[in-house]
Structure 1
Amino acid sequence: MSDDGERVSDGRLLDGRYRLTGRIGSGSTGTVWRARDEQGKRDVAVKELRLEGDPEGEDRRRGAHRLQHEARAASRVGHPSAVHIHEVVVEDGLPWVVMELVHGESLRTTLERGRLEPAEAARIGLAVLGALRAAHSVGIVHRDVKPENVLLEFGTGRVVLTDFGIGHGPVPGDSSVFVAPEQLAGRGAGPASDLWSLGALLRTIVDRHEHTGPLGTLLVRLLAEEPERRPGAEEAAAVLEGIAGGRAAEPPEPVPEPEPVPAPGSAPAPGSAPASASAPAAASGSAAEPESAPEPEVVRPPAPPAPQLRRPLLAALGQLLPKKPEVD
């Protein structure tokens, strides 16, 4: 969690180790404190989870057990953009989540100074998506992706997603714009629900009504009403990588077909370049094929004339031969 917040004077000590030194902020699921790890000699963030009801009631005890299970499950999410959970301690029957302290500010605070460019939005979205994919791989759905739960570290620009599916109850009105339709309708949440929330987050980063520009097509698909119509995480990541790198992931332009080469000796078509003009340069990264030399023209000898009967010679020979005597 981020390290901005007010000081507290009581200095409460948790588990004989973590001394609370300041309140970072509060939300619908609890309060986050800044604390000093007196054994590890480091500053940490501690989330005090909130539970309603009778402190001695059975419902509260079951709720506390569920929160403890959710917090320990969230500690299995390993990704550079997922907040690191050190441990879960129990005080007065309630779990307290001890996690890394991020020296930065929330995305909500950043956006109060103005919208971000699509490339920066894509960079942040790609990091959040990476953390979500890591959570989904261990069976965890975040269910609460919103600007307040995305932190930006000072100096490094590192993006950190917090609050992985821990203690999410009724959705407050201000956060409902980041909750998938099926989740609001009470049909449950799955990985596709987190992708819808990612789309709502990206839309807020660039413009609440952004449906043009490099992110436009992806936003429309991520915010589809039906979960099955939304792109998968891998496809969304490919688009965001292209935009974050300064180029929209658009299909390449079709390569034009080469013009037919005239036969040797034939006249060029009207308006075409002369044979001595240089060919266009080859596409980047590919080698141009060398021009082949024209094949030499094969001159075939004329076919011999058809043989003719030499009648005059035969007639002369007939005169020289003796004639047979005529028989009466």
Structure 2
Amino acid sequence: MPKADPQDILFGRIALHNGFVTEEQLKNALKVQYSEQKPRRLGEVLLELGYISSDQLQLILRSQDMRLDMHDKRLKTRKRDILFGAVAKRLGFASQQEINEAVKKQALLREQGKEASLGEILVEDGVLTVSQVKTILSYQRRSIMVCQGCNKRYNVVNPIPTRQVKCPECGSLLVEPEVLDSPKVDASIEEEIPSGAFSIGEYIILEEISRGGMGIVYKARKKGTNIIVALKMMLDEKESLKEEVARFENEAKAIARLNHPNIVSVFDLSCVGGKHFFSMEYIEGKTLAQVIDEGGTSIEEALSITRTIAEALDYAHSQKICHRDIKPSNIMLEGKTGRLVLMDFGLAVRQEQTLRLTKTGFAVGTPLYMPPESATAGNIKEYDPRSDIYSLGCVLYELLTGRLPFMADNPLELMVKKMNEDPPPPTVFNPKIPKPVAQIVLKCIARKIDERYPSARHLADEIASYLHKTRMRKKRHGILSKLVKYGAVTASLAAIAYATYIVTTQFLLRIF
């Protein structure tokens, strides 16, 4: 048998992993492929044999294009550069193709004995701006700082707001430059975060939980008590736009107005030394994104989760607040209680507000879960409860299938698809999904906003109705099974009794 082509190997793995083909079908297709004088691509053979559809072929090819270059072992990409590329792509700053080209260029430079970070190469290629590099580094818990004494530049890992960092060369303080002209650095410094070593206001910092482009979240304890909270603060307000500071404060005020068991509670909003922060309840558990990565949930569990979050959204909507960033990483599953908690209202807005917290027409949110109308949002009227329903529908889609309805190399292409194409039914990727459930999903993520559920309450009620009918059907099936079993036992006893009667009668006839 000839040596398999790497592209066909990857194609087969993707098709098998997504459940498009069985192992037997894949083996059969490979036999057909290798029997040909001029072997065709594996995808063509699978399509001709009727094992995959043309839509599935295109989906696999797109996924293959995004992953193929990363399978080249010669690239030897460092973990921090892999993470850098992943964040750049997720934020929409670069496409997978642009990142792959930069990785190849980095490998060539390494062969010549030169070292360059992925950020440097992407800036030189005109793909990223220095400002975008800074944003990506903040997601990696890194920050470029300059020494006030010797002007050396450092990539500081785990920078802590309000805490001073000193230059290892001359001992002078490091500061973040107001204008960053280049992503190049002389060395790296890793900051340790000893538990309880520093405090912010009336809170003692215990550990860092997470960090994003705008904010950082710490686990903290209120001084003089055993009360544990999550403390969220802005990374660098000197660099932040007034709109970003206003959005940060808006998050705290938005959640503070809400009182619901499935929405995170905010305790207070403070400012110490020019640093704005707010405290909220600390949820110990895992995000829904982690649940999906660990293998996902059953269909019934996925529906129950969606129903709970829909009820929380219905309450928020009744208070005239839209979330605008519903995604698995913003939904927590509390470890001890199993309670679901909707987090991160950083983009939440009052329905009667204008878009003064964003540039006119600028879409905010996570593109993968963002509704199509967000791409052209020119006023706040576009952000109504049905936009949140779309995002929640995408979460349900992912829970049921392990993937999202649309895939693309960059956010622009993704939003164009959302605006012009109908989403593929979730049954394409998981045939076990019942038809009524698929209809619920598709109604949530309908392209036209008027075709979605009119409210989160309608969605929650429809899921509740379906779950009730399913449980009643299972209950009836259980009762019926017991009756059938009882009938079989009764019939068996009757047969034994009849046989006994015949034997006894024959015996008595012989005697008399």
TM range (shorter): 0.5 to 0.7
1: CA distance, partners of 2:446 / 2:238: 37
**1:206 counterpart residue number:** 400
**1: CA distance between counterparts of 2:312 and 2:236?**
27
Q: How has the CA–CA distance of structure 1 residues 24 and 220 changed in structure 2, closer, same or farther, with 3 Å as cutoff?
A: same
| Structure 2 match to 1:284 | none
| TM-score relative to the length of structure 1 | 0.65
Q: Is the 8 A contact 2:237 2:245 kept in 1?
A: no
**1:182 maps onto 2:376 in alignment:** no
| 1:246–1:148 CA distance, 2 compared to 1 (3 A) | farther
| Aligned-partner residue type, residue 179 of structure 1 | M
| Corresponding residue to 1:22 among 202, 207, 210 | 207
Q: Find out whether 1:197 has 2:394 as its counterpart.
A: no
CA distance in 1, matches of 2:267, 2:456: 27
One of 4, 13, 16 as aligned partner of 2:199: 13
Q: SS in structure 2 opposite 1:128? A: helix
Q: CA deviation at 1:183?
A: 1.2
The residue identity in structure 2 corresponding to 1:199 is G
What letter corresponds to residue 25 of structure 1 in structure 2? S
Alpha-carbon offset, residue 95 of structure 1: 2.4
Name the CA shift for 1:134/1:40 in 2 (closer, same or farther; >3 Å). Answer: farther
Superimposed CA distance per residue, residues 236-277 of structure 1 (whole angstroms, 9 cap, x where no aligned partner): 111221344472899xxxxxxxxxxxxxxxxxxxxxxxxxxx
2:216 is aligned, of 21, 31, 53, to 31
Relative to structure 1, is the Cα distance of residues 110 and 87 closer, same or farther in structure 2, using a 3 angstrom cutoff?
same
1:121 counterpart (292, 295, 302): 302
Cα displacement string for residues 113-138 of structure 1 (whole angstroms, at most 9, x for unaligned residues): 11211111111111111221121112
Post-superposition offset of 1:166: 4.2
Aligned equivalents of 1:238, 1:165: Cα separation in 2: 28
- State the alpha-carbon separation in 1 of the partners of residues 467 and 439 from structure 2: 15
Residue 42 (str. 1) matches residue 227 (str. 2): yes
Tell me how far 1:29 sits from its aligned partner.
Answer: 3.7
Q: How many residues in Structure 1 have an aligned counterpart in Structure 2? A: 240
* Alpha-carbon separation, structure 2, partners of 1:243 and 1:22: 43
Shift in CA distance, 153/244, structure 1 to aligned 2, threshold 3 Å? farther
Q: Is the 8 A contact 1:36 1:44 kept in 2?
A: yes
**Secondary structure, in 3 states, of the residue corresponding to 2:470?**
coil
Structure 1 counterpart of 2:371, one-letter code: A
Structure 1's unaligned 5+ residue stretches are 1-5, 251-328
Tell me, yes or no, if the aligned pair for 2:302 and 2:396 is still in contact at 8 Å. yes
2:257 matches 1:76 = yes
Q: In the alignment, does 2:433 pair up with 1:225? A: no
Distance change (3 Å), C-alpha of 1:244 and 1:161: farther
Mapped to 2, the partners of 1:28 and 1:248 lie a distance apart of: 44
Matched-pair contact (CA < 8 Å) for 1:242–1:248: no
Greater shift, 153-162 or 44-53, is seen at 44-53
Q: For 2:384 and 2:238, locate their aligned partners in 1 and report how far apart those are by CA, in whole Å.
A: 28
Structure with more of its chain in helix, by fraction: 2
| Higher RCO structure, 1 or 2 (CA under 8 Å, sep 6+) | 1
State the 1:234 CA deviation. 2.2
Matches within 5 A, 1:49-198: 49-50=234-235, 54=239, 59-60=241-242, 63-166=244-347, 175-187=366-378, 188-198=382-392
